[in-house]
Amino acid sequence: MDFPEFRVDGKVALVTGAARGLGRAISLALANAGADVAIGLRDIGEDGGLAGEITGLGRAALPLQMDMTAPGQISRAVEETLSRFGRIDILVNNAGIAPGNPAEDVTEEDFDRTLAVNLKGTFLAGQAVGRAMIRQGHGRIVNIGSQAGEVALPGESVYCMTKAAIAHLTRCLAVEWGPHGITVNNVAPTFIRTPGTAEALSDPAFEADVIERIAALHRIGEPMDVAGAVLFLVSPAASMVTGHTLVVDGGWTAR
């Protein structure tokens, strides 16, 4: 009898937007579970010591210049990873931005940049890695969406739109690439304590409202809460899970 296996020993992972917050936690969780990790960075000179922490866990780290608004950097980062490790077993499409604004005040610049990072960048990274995974005959892709793809968040119309699109992109790629041994899933977190949410959560009234809306657990999530969901989906234990959105929201959308 084969029991579920949650480790990824000897696998090669590429994580986008890895410098801080969710990307950092996911990179470390993958390394702790046995994977070598290529870390995609908007600025390769600013990894915050992440590469050193990964090597400290006994795994190889490869910092990559990977601005998700620059298609050339995306393709080169994938090529560098393949050149260094020979394959990519896991892709975590984590990079994303969320410039908040009431819909009537959204600028064209903010609209275009949000779609460039959250949608175009996610698709292009998935496409580049997907081609390699098709040649390999296997792979695990996890996109990082948001509960904002499931529920409306005032002042976040463009961000919500992109995250809803990522959920459907996930289903489309799962169906298209499944015959090649590739699973594609989506993790959709609630508000998580990261540098990106620190300013909003510093408002006591806003934080209290968020905690109230996280209906079941009544606490703000931590980055490792999301990393755990990602680790499950890329592990052998999830080999029959694809095209799925795993909502990590403490019960927000269950209400």
Which residues participate in catalysis according to the annotation?
A: 159
Tell me how far apart the alpha carbons of residues 165 and 105 are, in angstroms, rounded to a whole number: 22
Q: What is the CA radius of gyration of the chain?
A: 17
Tell me how far apart the alpha carbons of residues 178 and 138 are, in angstroms, rounded to a whole number: 9
Tokens of residue 42, six digits: 């908007």
Residue 34, CB-side half-sphere exposure with 13 Å CA sphere? 11
59 CA to centre of own chain:
20
Contact yes or no for 142/91 (Cβ under 8 A):
yes
What element of type H or E holds 74? helix 71-85
Q: What are the C-alpha distances in Å from 163 to residues 42, 119, 160, 167?
A: 20, 8, 5, 6
Local structure of 60: helix, strand or coil:
coil
SS (H, E, C) 149-204: HCCCCCCEHHHHHHHHHHHHHHHHHHHHHHHHCEEEEEEEECCECCCCCHHHHCCH
Q: Is 70 exposed, middle or buried (0-12, 13-18, 19+ CB in 10 A)?
A: middle
